[in-house]
Amino acid sequence: MELLAGSGIEKAWGDRLILRGADLSVSTADRVGLVGANGCGKSTLLRILAGLDEPDHGTVARRTAIGMLEQDPVLPGVTVGDAADDALAWHRDLLAQYEAGIEADDHVMTANAQSLLDLHGWEIAHRADAILDKLRAPPREALIAVLSGGERRRVALARALLGSPDLLLLDEPTNHLDADVCEWLQDHLSGFRGALVLVTHDRYLLEAVATRIVEVEDGICVNYEGSYGDYLIQRAERQALSRRDRDTSLALIAREAAWAAKSPAARSTKQKARLQRLDALKDSVPQVRDLSMSLDLSTGDKLGRTIFEARGVTKSLGGRLLIDKLDLDLGPGTRLAVVGPNGAGKSTLLNMIIGNILPDKGTLTRGPRVKLAVLDQGRTGLPSNCTVREAAAGGNDQVIVNDKPVHVASFLERFLFTREHFDQRVEALSGGERARLLLARLLLQGANLLLLDEPTNDLDLSTLRVLEEALLSYDGAALVVTHDRAFVDRACTGLIAFEGNGKIVAYASRSQWIAAQKRAAAEAASIRPAPTRAVAAPKAPRKGLSFKEQRELDSLPAQIEVAEGRRAELEQLLGTPMDGRKAAEVARDLDAIGHAIEALYKVWHDLDERR
């Protein structure tokens, strides 16, 4: 069944035509990965398909409920809890229909509502808390007005998952998520019952979830059946075929043009058809553009063994120990990924290296000829009121790249900016285009120490690969805060993980880090005490569960309440002054109770699905 069909969609922003006749249809159980260069119109197309924007031309037929995660979401209500509960309005409507059907003795209405409630569950309020917890969203009582951009997106993602639509449109859902949360989201979307259209730079997620890739290219949609890996092969084959066709057409045009030039007298009425064919051939030649970006960050500097080092660095903020006695060495060719939950201290470490804040103890030392460059998560450093040309070259006609002058137009074209971009205001650029412009400026700095904070956010897949290749051949040192699992695996030589209470551990690879996490979780589970079972008043058994299972299901809310109360006590205790040994014990207990709560929610979900 076709759930959505967009036909001939055109959309322009100002004098720039973004979509020029895009067609995209989605059927039941479709898993579409939407890809394309930054600024090609992926987000615009999603918003049009969802009904949030209108096309200039074309039609969109929607035949089902659609859920949407936007890049800049607006949340309803005052608190996070309000926003999450609002996403479950569909379930409250089903319950109301069921009760209304019984009241009116309408067997059809009652049966329809009951069928859907049996499918989705009669009691699902707990799912909101479970998903908020999985996505590490702020607590329910947190005010929406004071949330950061990343926190707002996590709440919005939770709302999209809770809405239970038949079709889900997700625009960069992994932005601002930690690597382990990305793993959970990947598993969750793999089991999603509805159809899905996904814009993401997370290649592992795309490979695991998508069964069809649609590329937005030159304003239209090109379909590729299969996974992301299949798409890469098919696209390369298509480009090779297109080049062969183009060469054949060009040769034919050349012969026609030579004839026309030599035979001016032949331009009679009799030969007009042939000349018209010449014009048609010229128009039919595929406009193949070289969309490969050029990025070489190497400096050629002769550096010593150490570019940067930290010795015994300790830092606390707001009474919390974030970094405890850190020793760190960065030499030429070192590319370290920095991972850990939000708020663990990753940005604090970068700010200390930059010099924005000082450590409480220890020393931070840069080599004598070290030049530092920073790509921050907020993509700051671009003057919004100037043009792309001015931002790249400061009003000059040339820039210096590797000690050689390069015209600013040629330089910008390396980063996939066309001449129609040159006089465009920076504030009008998409997130990916801003990131490309910042990478261009990064190249001009000739830095040998790079600090990259979530560099993959908003980048298209081809630009991601170019950035990876540039880092692989980079002769300086780089510290990369990122949640992008494929980027870490491919571009980084090692990893340091923030593991709580100031503990930072170095690992040779992401797989080694994951194995260590699994061992720690298994050890915590083996020593975790059984949760207290508070007995609630039994309800009448429901079909599908034994009497014992029904009693267990009825008792779970009280058990979870006790466990969450204990977790809140431990979190409050962890925020008070204490010695290191006591803090470590409290952290272990907090981790154990977290796993216990997760297990309780799983039991609740399993029993609830079966009843």
Task: Give tens-digit pLDDT for 482-492.
Answer: 989 999 999 99
Confidence bin at 53 (pLDDT 50/70/90): very high
Give the tokens for residue 356.
């924005």
- Same domain? 337 vs 468: yes
pLDDT above 70 (res 192): yes
Average of pLDDT values for 388-410? Answer: 85
CA-CA distance, 156 to 71, in Å (whole number)?
10
Count of CB atoms situated within 10 Å of the CB of 416: 24
- The range of the structural domain enclosing residue 509 comes to 308-515
Confidence bin at 417 (pLDDT 50/70/90): confident
Lowest model confidence (mean pLDDT) among 167-181, 192-206, 461-475 = 461-475
pLDDT above 50 (res 537): no
Q: Which of 457, 453, 401 is nearest to 433 (CA)?
A: 457
Q: What confidence score (pLDDT) does residue 538 get?
A: 44
User: For residue 301, which phi and psi values (nearest 5 degrees)?
Assistant: -70, 145
Of the two residues 63 and 572, the one the predictor is more confident about is: 63
Does residue 119 sit in helix, strand or coil?
Answer: helix
Kindly report, residue by residue over 173-183, the tens digit of the pLDDT: 998 888 889 99
All residues at 6 or more sequence positions from 165 whose CB lies less than 8 Å from its CB, including other chains: 64, 65, 66, 67, 194
Kindly report, residue by residue over 199-208, the tens digit of the pLDDT: 998 999 999 9
Identity (one letter) of the amino acid at 237?
E
Q: Give me the percent of the chain exceeding a pLDDT of 70.
A: 83
Q: In the sheet where 195-199 sits, what is the strand order?
A: 66-69, 167-171, 195-199, 31-35, 212-217, 220-225
User: For residue 217, which phi and psi values (nearest 5 degrees)?
Assistant: -135, 120
Residue 139 maps to a domain: no
Q: Which of 80, 42, 59 is nearest to 221 (CA)?
A: 42
- Same domain? 346 vs 445: yes
- Same domain? 475 vs 559: no
CA-CA distance, 168 to 65, in Å (whole number)?
9
Residue 21 maps to a domain: no
Average of pLDDT values for 498-503? Answer: 91
Q: What confidence score (pLDDT) does residue 536 get?
A: 43
Facing residues of 222 across strands? 215
- Same domain? 474 vs 532: no
Q: What is the CATH number of the domain that holds 498?
A: 3.40.50.300
Average of pLDDT values for 450-464? Answer: 86
Confidence bin at 106 (pLDDT 50/70/90): confident
Q: Which of 255, 63, 314, 42 is nearest to 165 (CA)?
A: 63
Q: Give me the percent of the chain exceeding a pLDDT of 90.
A: 36
Residue 235 maps to a domain: no
Residue 232 maps to a domain: no
How many residues does the structure list for the chain?
Answer: 611
Q: What confidence score (pLDDT) does residue 277 get?
A: 60
CA-CA distance, 481 to 517, in Å (whole number)?
19
Alpha helices in 424-546 (DSSP H): 431-445, 461-472, 485-491, 510-527
Residue 404 maps to a domain: yes
- Same domain? 491 vs 575: no
Q: At what angle do helices 510-527 and 580-610 cross, to 10 degrees?
A: 80
Domain-terminating residue out of 487, 515, 543: 515
**pTM score, whole prediction:** 0.72
Q: Which of 45, 118, 132, 44 is nearest to 85 (CA)?
A: 132
Kindly report, residue by residue over 210-239, the tens digit of the pLDDT: 999 999 998 999 999 998 888 888 888 887
Of the two residues 32 and 385, the one the predictor is more confident about is: 32
Output the CA–CA distances (angstroms, integers) from residue 293 to 242, 426, 437, 462, in the order listed.
20, 19, 12, 8
Q: What confidence score (pLDDT) does residue 547 get?
A: 62
- Same domain? 537 vs 597: yes
Q: Name the DSSP letter for residue 213.
A: E
Beta strands (DSSP E) in 185-286 are: 195-199, 212-217, 220-225
Contact 293, 437 (CB under 8 A): no
Q: What confidence score (pLDDT) does residue 551 get?
A: 64
Of the two residues 605 and 11, the one the predictor is more confident about is: 11
- Same domain? 586 vs 453: no
pLDDT above 50 (res 411): yes
- Same domain? 473 vs 507: yes
Residue 170 maps to a domain: no
Facing residues of 451 across strands? 374, 479
Q: What is the CATH number of the domain that holds 586?
A: 1.20.58
SS (H, E, C) 323-385: EEEEEEEECCCCEEEEECCCCCCHHHHHHHHHCCCCCCEEEEEECCCCCEEEECCCCCCCCCC
pLDDT above 80 (res 42): yes
Residue 173 maps to a domain: no
Average of pLDDT values for 37-53? Answer: 92
Average of pLDDT values for 338-353? Answer: 89
Domain-terminating residue out of 461, 483, 515: 515
Domain-terminating residue out of 515, 537, 561: 515
Token pair 């079966």 in the structure block, residue: 610
- Same domain? 556 vs 496: no
- Same domain? 498 vs 552: no
Q: What confidence score (pLDDT) does residue 311 get?
A: 95
Contact 34, 197 (CB under 8 A): yes
Q: What confidence score (pLDDT) does residue 255 get?
A: 67
- Same domain? 498 vs 555: no
Q: What confidence score (pLDDT) does residue 535 get?
A: 41
- Same domain? 474 vs 558: no
Kindly report, residue by residue over 265-304, the tens digit of the pLDDT: 555 554 566 556 656 655 655 544 445 566 778 777 777 7
Residue 420 maps to a domain: yes
Average of pLDDT values for 166-172? Answer: 94
Q: What is the domain count for the chain?
A: 2
Confidence bin at 540 (pLDDT 50/70/90): very low
